[in-house]
Every structure is written in structure tokens, then in C-alpha cells.
Amino acid sequence: MDCTQAIRARRSIRRFKPGASVPKEDVETMLEAAMMAPSACNARPWEFFVAENPEIKEKLRAAHPYASMLEDASLAIVACARPEDQTGVCEGYWPLDCGAAVENLLLQAAALGYGTCWCGCWPAMDRVEAIQAILNTQSVPAALIAVGVPDESPEARGGYDPGKVTWLT
């Protein structure tokens, strides 16, 4: 699948095939894609937590009010920000950097045939603090991503809208 196909195939999946597994090498390919994202001053202010353990996935599900799909997802990936990794002119760009990394991960997952659902954490501090406690980290959970074999095929919700474009000529 090429980039154009992956962009158009990606969907937010909320139903996964229970018991399906995702090989470690596929997870590492997704994480590599995430870490290839651009970041201000190439600071790469992120780290990732991968949870396959059902008990940890359940704790994450309980900590996030919109992550019920983790019950059947193969795994959860938590993209966490490390704001302290950015200083000077690069300081403060970590939300953009982490967003770019998460989108790369989602597109790579789609290209590999997996479904994902991006559940935002930051700036909802109740979610951030609950997930920090589960992960035992000071990093800032930016996104919780459910990953697995999709058990649904939702229609696309979006697309090119020329009304949202201003051509400056």
C-alpha cells in the first residue's frame, strides 16, 4: 500500500477481532514510522509505551473515558511527550511533534493492515495523571492508541473540502 492509499484507508476502529495478535516486528515497524516524524530542532520529544498485557490494557481503558475499544484490541501504545527535551527556540512544540509521530504510526498501521483508534490524553489532566500513574512515568501521555485486527469497516468521514482552502495568488 502506498502513502496515498494508506491515508485514504485509515479509519478510527472501535471494534477489533478478540484474541488477534500483532507480531512484534510489525509493532516495531509502526514505532519506527512514529519516530521518523519531524520534530522541532529534531528534538524527538517522545517516548512510547506498548501494552499487550490484558491487566494493563484494562487499567488504561478504565483511565480513559473513550477507550472502551481496548477490551478487544491486541495492544495499546501510549505516545508520551518529554517537554524537557525541547529547549530554546524549540521549546513548546512537543504537542505538534507528538501529533506528527502518532499520525505516522496510524498510517503505518493502516499500511500493514491493522486498525487503530487515537484517543487523546493531553490536555485532559485527569487522563494524563491516571495514565502516568499506570505507566509509572513523568512523561506526558499525549495519546493512547488502540491497535489490532479490525472487526469493522467504517466509511470515510472526511475528505477534501475546497471551502476550507484560501488560494493566495
Is 168 domain-assigned?
A: no
Q: What is the pLDDT of residues 16-66, one digit of tens each?
A: 999 999 999 999 999 999 999 999 999 999 999 999 999 999 999 999 999
Residue whose C-alpha is closest to residue 95's, from 81, 79, 106: 81
Model pLDDT, residue 140: 98
Tally of domains in the chain? 1
Render the burial of 24-40: b for 16+ CB within 10 Å, e for the rest. Answer: eebbebbbebbeebebb
* Look-up of cell digits 508520551: 80
Can you tell me the distance from the alpha carbon of 50 to that of 38, in angstroms, rounded to the nearest whole number?
A: 21
The pLDDT score that the predictor gives to residue 158 is 85
Q: Has residue 140 been placed in a domain?
A: yes
CB atoms within 10 A of CB 22: 19
Query: Please, what is the average pLDDT of the chain?
Result: 96
Range of the domain at 18: 3-152
How high is the pLDDT of residue 157?
A: 87
Q: What is the pLDDT of residue 156?
A: 87
The answer to whether residue 167 is domain-embedded is no
pLDDT for 91 equals 95
Q: Give a yes or no: residue 162 inside a domain.
A: no
Buried b (16+ CB within 10 A) or exposed e, 47-60: ebbbbeeeebbebb
169 belongs to a structural domain: no
Write out pLDDT tens, residues 73-87.
999 999 999 999 999
